[in-house]
Amino acid sequence: MFSHGAWSPPMGTDSSDLFGSLFETPPLVRVVPVLVPLPVSGAYSYAVPEGMHVEPGSVVQVPVGPRQYIGVVWHCENDDKLDPKKLRPITLAFDCPPLSREMRDFVDWVSAYTLSPPGLVARMAIRAPAALDPEPMVEGLRYLGGQPERLTPARARVLDLAGEEDIPWTRSGLAHAAGVSLSVIDGLTAQGLFETVFLPPPPIVAKPDPDYTAPRIEGPQKEAAEEIVGSIRAGGFAASLIDGVTGSGKTEVYFEAIAETLRAGRQVLILLPEIALTSSFLERFQDRFGAKPGEWHSDLSPRMREKVWRGVVTGEVQVVAGARSALFLPFENLGLIIVDEEHDPAYKQEDRVFYNARDMAVVRARIGDFPIVLVSATPSVESQVNGLSGRYNTVHLPTRFGDAALPDLHLIDMRRHPPERGGFLSPVLLRAIAKTIERKEQALLFLNRRGYAPLTLCRVCGHRFQCPQCSSWLVEHRFKSQIQCHQCGYSERTPEACPECGTLDHLVACGPGVERIAEEVEKHFPDARTIVMSSDLLGGVKRMRLELDAIAKGEADIIIGTQLVAKGHNFPLMTLVGIVDSDLGLSNGDPRAAERTFQLLSQVTGRAGRTGLKSHGLLQTFQPQHPVMQAIVSGDAGAFYEREIAERERAILPPFGRLASLIVSADTRADAETHARGLRAAAPKVTGISVLGPAEAPLALVRGRHRFRLLVHGRRNADMQAFLRAMLANGPKQRGSVQIQLDIDPQSFL
Ligand code: ADP
Ligand code: ZN
């Protein structure tokens, strides 16, 4: 057997060249498996050239066909019959620490669980290729003493500064500090007053200090923190769930868990669903620990990503706050993961490798044998059940911190208090807004729909504007004078005439988006300062951060927003939250619809009254009797979860049963359907697992591809992965344009 790190016997010596092989030892060349970032089922074998050092986990560059890829030397066993001389050699080995055994086990686990090619999973751990080489040293200047030929005031300032202490300066740093131009520095250097030295690059973040400020917690927060810190001291894997209402101080509690981990000299990962927008979180962390955490999200510059990646691998960066992809950062010595807002759908990646970062974070902690803390005001049903069964240790924080009270929540029955014609805001809500802004406080109107109207049609012929590549309506964006597809991003100018019947100016907008609500608000409150917040705001993340800051400072009276404003922000003056359409998420065929609606509405209404001012939440609904609406206004979350858990158990839905979804797509409807039927026919007969479908997916067409859906349903202990592997192996060969997307534990059913 070939085991990792072993040398394979030299082979391929020509027996006719007997003398040669007698007098020269053939170069020892060994074979190693390398995972390449391609959708293939396992590692490829490569020869290690003489003199190159690689070990399991080493990051290398290898050729595949005509191209070079970055891959990772893997630990699996290899075929010792391979002749290294017949294999292509590794092109180069990067000078960075190898991925740890723990990290490689994690990659293997995720690959096996999600049925994704291991190379594509490994790729997520080495996403910052240029970071693989050590950071170049920074050029600096050191003052050697002496005076220039002519001492100008500018030159004197530079020399005074540089002479103060014997430390090297960067060229621009010195110019800046002395208030001179770079040419002054260069002139002095040319006269031999400075020598060039090389400095290590500065760290990207300072070291957080666990005792920078003393913990300021007491009462229930202290008890909760002690329980969690206790499990950290005990060592080993342990999962805790902090279940506390919005504003109860959950963050302060998990900061103590972080402090304890830092004291033990280990790294911490904090996962946050919307990190790019939560600059206030970074500041809060800095207040407690004296330094910011490293950040990891898609809005970082490539340069910054490289620095953070390298800092994490070398252990220099001790805490990372990141989006879901941070879970695949190869930490040197990870000792704690926090998953904040653990219920958030943003933790699910639905692209290439389909995974839920919350669930995989638990796996990573178990493999690394360290604790994990899940945090939420509205935990997922899955985590609630794990808490009830004792797998997770749940700590509760039932009240808000200090004298802040939760908002008073009321339903507005839209059948009894309808809006005026053409409007979407009931008179009850409008009156509440008026009172709020009279008191110089803020109102938030929440509608989870971008744009002006979700559907546009022609009043004369009934023509509906649909995306040419998707089965979805085009959404009017009036600010941009466009109609857009929210599936694929297709857009066109809003036409003046109907393309079907040619009638001019007879297009009608159906239903509201945030822009349309803003229009209605402006009509009723022409003097109020309003802000529309949605992800298609011109100016991207930067602009959004500015707007959020402006809101927090009280520079707006009425905010109309999508779920962007729902997450984690602290708006001190916000005392009214109005939900424009509370029923929006309830009827979309998703088994989690009720749970999601409950979570989202609780989170949005939780934005109000965080600083002690009396606050209200008003929910417009056509279904006031619905259990979700009742649960929210009664404040009895326990009853809601109990009912929801019983319902899931009865229907054997997650976490009491298991689901996997397969989307088969192709250029033609017939190809997609035929392939999906073939897969269905290839499904093994196993008790406890059944296949539903194929059925045309609710989104039947996306980017020109026709989609069919199969849903595999299993009992809790069913081996879904084995079933799916068999189904795919026995199914029809994937030909032509056919593609299969496999989603274990799907969150989306469209
Ligand atoms: P959650 O994470 O549960 O929503 P936070 O941790 O954000 O709650 O706390 C809500 C507010 O209360 C924040 O403004 C925070 O600064 C404040 N707060 C929480 N705990 C404390 C504490 N022990 N001392 C002082 N302020 C606190
Ligand atoms: Zn489209």
Q: Would you state the structure tokens that stand for residue 229, as one six-digit string? A: 């810190």
DSSP string, 665-712: EESSHHHHHHHHHHHHHT----TTEEEEEEEEEEEEEETTEEEEEEEE
Ligand 1, residue 218: give the atom nearest the CA.
Answer: 23
Asked if residue 178 has pLDDT above 90, the reply is no
| Structure confidence by residue, pLDDT tens digits, 454-467 | 999 999 999 999 99
Task: Give the ligand with the smallest distance to the CA of 473.
Answer: 2
The residue among 106, 126, 103 whose CA lies nearest residue 114 is 106
The residue among 653, 646, 638, 657 whose CA lies nearest residue 598 is 638
Instruction: Tell me, letter by letter, the H, E, C secondary structure of 594-637.
Output: HHHHHHHHHHHHCCCCCCCCCCEEEEEECCCCCHHHHHHHHCCH
249 CB less than 6 Å from ligand 1?
A: yes
Query: What's residue 612's pLDDT?
Result: 81
According to DSSP, residue 5 is labeled: T
| Structure confidence by residue, pLDDT tens digits, 23-56 | 443 354 688 999 999 999 889 999 998 889 899 9
Q: How far apart are CA 196 and CA 189, in angstroms?
A: 9
Three-state DSSP class for 482?
A: strand
Asked if residue 63 has pLDDT above 60, the reply is yes
Ligand 1, residue 606: give the atom nearest the CA.
Answer: 4
Query: What's residue 539's pLDDT?
Result: 75
The residue among 588, 601, 617 whose CA lies nearest residue 343 is 601
The residues pairing with 267 across neighbouring beta strands, listed in sequence order, are 334
pLDDT (mean) for 409-437:
96
| Structure confidence by residue, pLDDT tens digits, 401-419 | 887 888 999 999 999 999 9
Among 252, 255, 374, which is best to mutate for testing ligand 1, by the most ligand atoms less than 8 A from CB? 252
Three-state DSSP class for 17?
A: coil
CB under 8 Å to 263, separation ≥6 — which residues?
Answer: 210
pLDDT (mean) for 721-732:
96
Query: What's residue 375's pLDDT?
Result: 97
The residue among 583, 626, 592 whose CA lies nearest residue 344 is 592
Q: How far apart are CA 2 and CA 449, in angstroms?
A: 57
pTM of the model as a whole: 0.87
**Interstrand relation of 574-579 and 491-493 (parallel, antiparallel or unpaired):** unpaired
**Interstrand relation of 372-376 and 491-493 (parallel, antiparallel or unpaired):** unpaired
221 CB less than 6 Å from ligand 1?
A: yes
User: Is 145 exposed, middle or buried (CB count within 10 Å of its CB: 0-12, 13-18, 19+)?
Assistant: exposed
Q: Would you state the structure tokens that stand for residue 457, as one six-digit string? A: 């049609």
Three-state DSSP class for 44?
A: strand
Average pLDDT, the chain: 89
Query: What's residue 10's pLDDT?
Result: 34
CB under 8 Å to 687, separation ≥6 — which residues?
Answer: none
Asked if residue 542 has pLDDT above 60, the reply is yes
Tell me which of 16-25, 181-190, 255-264 is least confident: 16-25
Tell me which of 553-557, 583-587, 596-600 is least confident: 583-587
Q: Would you state the structure tokens that stand for residue 348, as one six-digit string? A: 């699910």
Q: How confident is the model at residue 201 (pLDDT cuts 50, 70, 90)?
A: confident
Q: How far apart are CA 233 and CA 730, in angstroms?
A: 50
Other beta carbons less than 10 A from residue 563's beta carbon:
20
DSSP string, 505-519: S-EEEES--HHHHHH
Q: How far apart are CA 689 and CA 657, in angstroms?
A: 10
CB under 8 Å to 110, separation ≥6 — which residues?
Answer: 116, 121, 353, 355, 360, 363
Asked if residue 184 has pLDDT above 60, the reply is yes
Most confident of 125-134, 365-374, 477-486: 365-374
Residue with CA at minimum distance from ligand 1 atom 24? 216
User: Is 17 exposed, middle or buried (CB count within 10 Å of its CB: 0-12, 13-18, 19+)?
Assistant: exposed
Ligand 1, residue 397: give the atom nearest the CA.
Answer: 3
Query: What's residue 236's pLDDT?
Result: 95
248 CB less than 6 Å from ligand 1?
A: yes
Determine contact, residues 225/253, Cβ cutoff 8 Å.
yes
| Structure confidence by residue, pLDDT tens digits, 328-352 | 999 999 999 999 999 999 999 998 8
Residue that wins the pLDDT comparison between 449 and 167: 449
Residue that wins the pLDDT comparison between 165 and 598: 598
Calculate how far, in angstroms, residue 444's C-alpha sits from the geometric centre of ligand 1: 21
Calculate how far, in angstroms, residue 483's C-alpha sits from the geometric centre of ligand 2: 11
pLDDT (mean) for 681-706:
94
Three-state DSSP class for 249?
A: coil
| Structure confidence by residue, pLDDT tens digits, 490-500 | 999 998 899 88
Query: What's residue 28's pLDDT?
Result: 47
Element (H, E) at 381: helix 381-388
According to DSSP, residue 2 is labeled: B
CA–centroid distance for 736 within its chain: 33
| Backbone Cα Rg of the chain | 30
Task: Give the ligand with the smallest distance to the CA of 399.
Answer: 1
Calculate how far, in angstroms, residue 468's C-alpha sits from the geometric centre of ligand 2: 7
According to DSSP, residue 457 is labeled: E
570 CB less than 6 Å from ligand 1?
A: yes
What domains are defined for the chain? 3-126 (3.40.1440.60), 138-199 (1.10.10), 220-401 (3.40.50.300), 404-449+515-645 (3.40.50.300), 450-511 (no CATH), 657-744 (3.30.70.600)
Torsion of CA 50, 53, 55, 59, to 10 degrees: -110
Tell me the angle at which helices 593-605 and 627-634 cross, rounded to the nearest 10 degrees. 30
Query: What's residue 14's pLDDT?
Result: 37
According to DSSP, residue 423 is labeled: -
User: Is 167 exposed, middle or buried (CB count within 10 Å of its CB: 0-12, 13-18, 19+)?
Assistant: exposed
539 phi-psi bin (left φ>0, alpha ψ -120 to 50, beta other): left
Tell me the angle at which helices 182-190 and 153-164 cross, rounded to the nearest 10 degrees. 80
Q: How far apart are CA 708 and CA 693, in angstroms?
A: 8
Calculate how far, in angstroms, residue 707's C-alpha sits from the geometric centre of ligand 2: 14
Residue that wins the pLDDT comparison between 276 and 695: 695
Question: What are residue 698's phi and psi, to 5 degrees?
Answer: -55, -40
Q: CA separation (Å) from 629 to 92, 128, 598? A: 60, 45, 8
Most confident of 151-160, 297-306, 435-444, 606-615: 435-444
| Structure confidence by residue, pLDDT tens digits, 660-684 | 999 999 999 999 999 999 999 999 9
First to last CA, the chain: 47
Determine contact, residues 126/146, Cβ cutoff 8 Å.
no
Q: CA separation (Å) from 591 to 273, 344, 746? A: 22, 16, 10
Residue that wins the pLDDT comparison between 537 and 94: 94
